[in-house]
Amino acid sequence: MEILIAQDLEAISTEAARMFMNLSEKYIQASGRFVVALSGGTTPKRLYQILASVQYQKNIDWSNVHIFFC
């Protein structure tokens, strides 16, 4: 288990987006898809905004990402 401590919401959201991108690439290469369950509500809102940015739109193979909200 790894514990990440960040300075603020922006830092943790940016790191979570980077991790999402890296994991999606890893699992799409290994199995052809990336399946993830994400939380709703306002806590992850900034993460979702970052993932929706142009940088992440271009660097994630969204056609092979399967998102479930829980």
**pLDDT, tens only, 5-61:** 999 999 999 999 999 999 999 999 999 999 999 988 888 999 999 999 999 999 999
Residue 34: per-residue pLDDT? 98
Position 70 confidence tier, pLDDT thresholds 50, 70, 90:
confident
Overall domain count for the chain = 1
Residue 1 covered by a domain? no
| Full domain range(s) for residue 64 | 9-69
Q: Which of 66, 19, 64 is nearest to 44 (CA)?
A: 19
Distance CA 23, CA 13 (A): 15
